[in-house]
């Protein structure tokens, strides 16, 4: 994000285009007579937030400045300026401009010339003040991906490449009302928080993360001068390869040492998890790794990796030499069987390589479930045999005319279909490669097929298939139709769609699900990877959906279903039967196990008795307000439960409120310690239901989610994922920490502070430096430093001890050669400090005035 006022704008006035031709005439003219999007310049800046004291919400008044830098006019009629806006703009005439704001559909909006608009001449500019439907203080909420499209060429648009979003810094921009208790995070606040973290010496730190069940350090060390003899059963061939790859470059390649690295499958004392392992490093006997299964051996190898030097000698172009490993014995097993990460590739597509990289990261920290959010309103990302429209239509986004051949732009993907995050899908071969890649790392892939809400990509793709086949006169044209053309239901989804749900009254819906499930099963079979669970969505079906669909109403009459709530049960009963036929279990968002009821006129979710014994697993995301205890109520009622609470494990949430901190914030702000401090069995604070012993046994584990509305580039993915994923891994693998069970508040605070210090030091001094050294380094978030003024000097600290802090005294950005902070900074002026990783990468800086 840059300040846009760096470049002088053309005179800001609503310019009149003297020679504006009548609309019909203009339409007959050649394109060359009008300005293209590439010659327009657009600036967005927030004027102020307008807080509604009653609702604590509000609106935001923002100014778009549009300048015509070309030599042709923007005509009086016949065009639209399109953009995505997450919370939308209020539709209607835009005062003083002659333009009208409109919702095209979902989060796509446009400005159109109304009757009063007379054009924008070359060299002229105009101000367009729009109202956003929510408070805005992050750039993500500003319009994204603006482009210009002429009515004459309805299927093509041209990006406004010269677009900038102004930083939000002024008080009226940052005022979110007296009721908002969340302050901006200041360097002083960070200083106070960081000051509670002890700086621990390296040798006081445990050897690895996530914390093993037990580590016994033994006297001496094992010296490896060459590659050990790797002895492994045939069933462990994959793990033997992993072991060899781990050690390659660390030890001399010439000859093998007499020492053995033994990989075995066997009993692990005191643990019955299939992922349990014992890793013994013995000065004489060598390395013995015993896993309860191959998965256990693989997990143990990740522990071995963390005991090796961070960089193999050959990566430093040094001769690989002698490796000394500490003698020890680790006996380890995970706390939870489900340690998951959800990636949304529908909102913004991610390449197969990015998925591989994520799987590597998950494997490294012993996560074992990859929840693959493959479909949503804005994209269907998996090729399905015999249903080409799913990907030709549903996996591509771009500007569309009245006969769309693909989905509209979303999340700033722009007018063309070439955007790598707007358009893209996994071919069957890609998907199979991902399955194999995950399986080699003992990670289960749980594909998600979103339904019945969040299904617009499929709904529209299947409608397009219907059009194609009907035009050809095919008798089966409607076979997979998911929506009824006569559906008059009135509803709006959180993403503002009004046409995105699968209709349970359409037989096509079941035929479609059957077809897709069968094909996904076939792909898993081809990959040699059993498909055990499909996540069948279930979240956020908007109120009002289905209510006026002729198909749904007919089905309800036929089946004597009293309401759409009962229709829901009917729908998932049939979905479950389809899955069962293929030997697949259903999991879904919490709504899959919940029944929508009303209490005091307000909707409430209670455990749905209909499905509790069907083996459904629920991923519970909503722990806000009255739903705080919903996860526990579902687990207590018998549902296998995965905790994915928005307040602690939603990695698309920004770390804090500051405008420069990326992400969304509808549920919470999620700092690193927000994840670390999560207590799975006791997180209800406001007097709801607590977890029973029966319920506790139904908690399968934890999952972090990365929805990707604001995640296009890999660097952003890294930033939001890491290091928060390490805190997730610690909570999901390590034993329940003592502080989580301590009842005495003071004792608990003491225990927690010590444990946090241990974790922060491990990250700063061991875990993250290793990642910095690894090839394809992860661009994890490096927190801005904490700063405080103390008797005319500046004190600086950091969230993670071990990072080098560097400063400047003239307000400029610190760089690799700036002086390091070694104590209080005596210089006067604007002191700016940033933290640097071992590989020289800097995090965002903080600054303070030292007058």
Biggest distance spanned by C-alpha atoms of the chain: 92
Residue 192 backbone zone (phi > 0: left; psi -120 to 50: alpha; other: beta)? alpha
Neighbour-count burial of 418, counting CB atoms closer than 10 A to its CB (0-12 exposed, 13-18 middle, 19+ buried)? exposed
Q: Where are the beta strands (DSSP E) in 760-816?
A: 786-790, 793-797, 804-808
Closest to 174 in 3D by CA, of 51, 278, 74: 51
Residue that is written with structure tokens 């006022």 in the block: 5
Closest to 773 in 3D by CA, of 444, 188, 314: 314
In the complex with ligand TNX, which residue's Cβ is closer, 312 or 408?
A: 408
Neighbour-count burial of 783, counting CB atoms closer than 10 A to its CB (0-12 exposed, 13-18 middle, 19+ buried)? buried
In the complex with ligand TNX, which residue's Cβ is closer, 157 or 340?
A: 340
Cα separation of 241 and 708, whole Å? 34
Tokens (6 digits) for 741? 């069970």
Q: Check if the beta carbon of residue 535 is closer than 8 Å to that of residue 371.
A: yes
Residue 656 backbone zone (phi > 0: left; psi -120 to 50: alpha; other: beta)? beta
Residue 345 Cβ vs ligand TNX, minimum distance, rounded to whole Å: 12
Closest to 328 in 3D by CA, of 209, 212, 202, 247: 212
Residue 236 Cβ vs ligand TNX, minimum distance, rounded to whole Å: 38
Cα separation of 649 and 389, whole Å? 34
In the complex with ligand TNX, which residue's Cβ is closer, 396 or 619?
A: 619
In the complex with ligand TNX, which residue's Cβ is closer, 383 or 590?
A: 590
Residue 711 Cβ vs ligand TNX, minimum distance, rounded to whole Å: 10
In the complex with ligand TNX, which residue's Cβ is closer, 296 or 409?
A: 409
Cα separation of 165 and 650, whole Å? 26
Residue 86 Cβ vs ligand TNX, minimum distance, rounded to whole Å: 10
Cα separation of 90 and 100, whole Å? 10
Residue 138 Cβ vs ligand TNX, minimum distance, rounded to whole Å: 13
In the complex with ligand TNX, which residue's Cβ is closer, 395 or 763?
A: 395
Cα separation of 160 and 390, whole Å? 29
In the complex with ligand TNX, which residue's Cβ is closer, 711 or 722?
A: 711
Residue that is written with structure tokens 């899959």 in the block: 592
Closest to 671 in 3D by CA, of 1, 185, 169, 195: 185
Please list the helix, strand and coil fractions of the chain in percent, rounded to the nearest 5, in that order.
Answer: 30, 25, 45
Residue 407 Cβ vs ligand TNX, minimum distance, rounded to whole Å: 16
SS3 per residue for 249-291: CCEEEEEEEEEEEEEEECCCCCCCCCCCEEEEEECCCEEEEEE
Q: Where are the beta strands (DSSP E) in 151-251?
A: 158-159, 162-165, 214-224, 226-232
Residue that is written with structure tokens 């014995």 in the block: 329
Q: Check if the beta carbon of residue 79 is closer than 8 Å to that of residue 149.
A: yes
Residue 591 Cβ vs ligand TNX, minimum distance, rounded to whole Å: 8
In the complex with ligand TNX, which residue's Cβ is closer, 77 or 623?
A: 623
Cα separation of 182 and 735, whole Å? 32
Residue 437 Cβ vs ligand TNX, minimum distance, rounded to whole Å: 25
In the complex with ligand TNX, which residue's Cβ is closer, 65 or 493?
A: 493
Closest to 107 in 3D by CA, of 82, 80, 85, 134: 85
Residue 347 Cβ vs ligand TNX, minimum distance, rounded to whole Å: 6
In the complex with ligand TNX, which residue's Cβ is closer, 250 or 724?
A: 724
In the complex with ligand TNX, which residue's Cβ is closer, 619 or 798?
A: 619
Question: Applying CB under 6 A, which residues contact ligand TNX?
Answer: 454, 539-540, 589, 621, 650, 652, 664, 707, 709
Residue 621 Cβ vs ligand TNX, minimum distance, rounded to whole Å: 4
Residue 630 Cβ vs ligand TNX, minimum distance, rounded to whole Å: 12
Q: 307-337 burial, b for 16+ CB within 10 Å, e for fewer?
A: bbeebbbeeeeeebeebebebbebbbbbbbe
Tokens (6 digits) for 834? 């940033």
Q: CA angle, corner 704, sides to 698 and 710, nearest 5?
A: 150
Q: CA angle, corner 184, sides to 178 and 187, nearest 5?
A: 145
Residue 54 Cβ vs ligand TNX, minimum distance, rounded to whole Å: 25
Closest-by-Cβ residue to ligand TNX is 707
Q: Check if the beta carbon of residue 725 is closer than 8 Å to that of residue 169.
A: no
366: Cβ contacts below 8 Å, ≥ 6 apart: 210, 275, 299, 302, 334, 339, 729, 733
Residue 687 Cβ vs ligand TNX, minimum distance, rounded to whole Å: 24
In the complex with ligand TNX, which residue's Cβ is closer, 540 or 569?
A: 540
In the complex with ligand TNX, which residue's Cβ is closer, 650 or 780?
A: 650
Residue 563 Cβ vs ligand TNX, minimum distance, rounded to whole Å: 23
In the complex with ligand TNX, which residue's Cβ is closer, 180 or 539?
A: 539
In the complex with ligand TNX, which residue's Cβ is closer, 642 or 835?
A: 642
In the complex with ligand TNX, which residue's Cβ is closer, 250 or 454?
A: 454
Helix (H, G, I), strand (E, B) or coil at 659: coil
Residue 45 Cβ vs ligand TNX, minimum distance, rounded to whole Å: 26
In the complex with ligand TNX, which residue's Cβ is closer, 128 or 346?
A: 346
Residue 453 Cβ vs ligand TNX, minimum distance, rounded to whole Å: 9
* DSSP code for 825: B
Cis status, amide bond into 628, omega within 30 of 0: no
Residue 633 Cβ vs ligand TNX, minimum distance, rounded to whole Å: 18
Phi, psi torsion values for 604, nearest 5 degrees: -145, 150
Residue 390 Cβ vs ligand TNX, minimum distance, rounded to whole Å: 19
In the complex with ligand TNX, which residue's Cβ is closer, 222 or 642?
A: 642
């Amino acid at each position: 994000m840059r300040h846009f006022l760096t470049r002088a704008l053309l005179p800001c006035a609503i310019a009149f285009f003297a020679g504006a031709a009548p609309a019909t005439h203009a339409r007959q003219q050649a394109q060359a007579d009008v300005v293209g999007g590439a010659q327009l310049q657009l600036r967005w800046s927030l004027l102020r937030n307008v807080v509604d004291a009653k609702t604590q919400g509000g609106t935001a008044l923002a100014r778009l400045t549009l300048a015509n830098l070309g030599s042709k006019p923007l005509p009086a009629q016949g065009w639209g300026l399109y953009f995505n806006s997450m919370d939308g703009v209020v539709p209607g005439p835009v005062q003083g401009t002659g333009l009208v704001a409109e919702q095209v559909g979902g989060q796509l909006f446009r400005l159109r010339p109304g009757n009063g608009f007379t054009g924008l001449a070359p060299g002229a500019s105009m101000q367009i003040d729009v109202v956003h439907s929510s408070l805005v203080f992050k750039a993500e909420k500003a319009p994204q991906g603006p482009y210009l499209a002429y009515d004459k060429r309805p299927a093509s648009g041209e990006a406004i490449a010269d677009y900038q979003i102004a930083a939000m810094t002024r008080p009226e921009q940052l005022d979110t009302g007296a009721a908002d208790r969340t302050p901006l995070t200041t360097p002083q606040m960070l200083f106070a928080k960081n000051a509670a973290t002890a700086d621990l010496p390296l040798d006081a730190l445990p050897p690895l993360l996530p914390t093993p069940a037990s580590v016994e350090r033994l006297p001496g060390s094992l010296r490896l001068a060459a590659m050990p003899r790797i002895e492994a059963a045939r069933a462990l061939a994959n793990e033997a390869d992993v072991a060899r790859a781990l050690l390659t470059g660390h030890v001399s390649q010439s000859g093998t040492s007499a020492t053995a690295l033994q990989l075995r499958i066997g009993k692990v004392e005191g643990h019955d998890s299939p992922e349990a392992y014992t890793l013994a490093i013995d000065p004489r006997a060598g390395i013995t790794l015993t896993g309860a299964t191959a998965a256990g051996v693989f997990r143990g190898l990740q522990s071995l990796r963390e005991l090796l030097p961070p960089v193999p000698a050959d990566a430093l172009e040094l001769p690989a030499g002698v490796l000394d490993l500490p003698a020890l014995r680790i006996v380890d097993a995970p706390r939870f069987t489900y340690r998951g990460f959800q990636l949304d590739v529908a909102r913004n597509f991610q390449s197969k390589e990015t998925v591989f990289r994520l799987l590597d990261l998950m494997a490294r920290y012993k996560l074992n479930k990859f929840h693959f959010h493959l479909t949503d309103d804005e994209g269907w990302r998996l090729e399905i045999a015999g249903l080409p429209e799913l990907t030709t239509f549903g996996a591509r986004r771009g500007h569309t005319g009245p006969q769309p051949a693909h989905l509209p732009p979303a999340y700033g993907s722009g007018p063309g279909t070439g955007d790598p995050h707007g358009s893209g899908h996994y071919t069957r071969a890609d998907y199979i490669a991902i399955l194999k890649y995950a399986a080699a790392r003992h990670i289960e892939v749980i594909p998600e097929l979103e339904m019945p809400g969040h299904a617009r990509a499929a709904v529209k793709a299947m409608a397009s298939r219907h059009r194609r086949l009907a035009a050809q006169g095919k008798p089966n044209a409607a076979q997979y139709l998911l929506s009824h053309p006569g559906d008059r239901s009135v509803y709006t989804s959180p993403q503002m769609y009004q046409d995105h749900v699968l209709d349970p009254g359409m037989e096509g819906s079941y035929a479609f699900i059957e077809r897709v499930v069968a094909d996904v099963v076939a792909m898993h079979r081809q990959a040699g990877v059993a498909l055990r669970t499909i996540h069948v969505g279930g979240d956020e079906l908007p109120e009002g959906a289905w209510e006026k669909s002729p198909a749904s109403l007919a089905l309800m009459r036929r089946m004597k279903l009293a309401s759409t709530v009962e229709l829901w049960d009917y729908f998932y009963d049939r979905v479950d039967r389809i899955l069962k036929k293929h030997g697949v279990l259903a999991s879904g968002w919490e709504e899959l196990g919940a029944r929508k009821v009303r209490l005091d006129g307000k909707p409430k979710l209670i455990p749905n008795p209909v499905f509790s014994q069907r083996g459904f697993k629920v991923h519970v995301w909503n722990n806000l307000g009255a739903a705080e205890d919903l996860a526990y109520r579902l687990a207590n009622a018998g549902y296998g439960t995965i905790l994915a609470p928005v307040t602690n494990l939603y990695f698309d949430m920004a770390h804090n409120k500051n405008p420069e901190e990326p992400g969304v914030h509808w549920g919470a702000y999620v700092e690193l310690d927000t994840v670390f401090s999560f207590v799975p069995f006791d997180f209800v604070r406001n007097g709801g239901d607590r977890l029973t012993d029966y319920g506790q046994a139904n908690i399968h584990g934890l999952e972090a989610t990365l929805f990707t509305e604001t995640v296009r580039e890999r660097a952003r993915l890294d930033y939001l994922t890491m290091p928060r994923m390490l805190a997730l891994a610690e909570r999901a693998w390590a034993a329940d920490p003592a502080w989580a069970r301590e009842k005495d508040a003071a004792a608990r605070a003491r225990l927690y502070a010590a444990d946090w210090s241990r974790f922060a030091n491990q990250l700063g001094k061991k875990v993250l430096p290793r990642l910095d050294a690894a090839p394809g380094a992860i661009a994890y978030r490096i927190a801005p430093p904490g700063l405080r003024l103390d008797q005319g000097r500046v004190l600086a600290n950091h969230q993670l001890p071990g990072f080098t802090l560097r400063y400047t005294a003239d307000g400029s950005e610190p760089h690799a050669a700036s002086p390091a902070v070694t104590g209080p900074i005596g210089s006067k002026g604007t002191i700016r400090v940033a933290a640097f990783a071992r590989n020289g990468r800097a995090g965002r800086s903080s600054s303070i005035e030292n007058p």
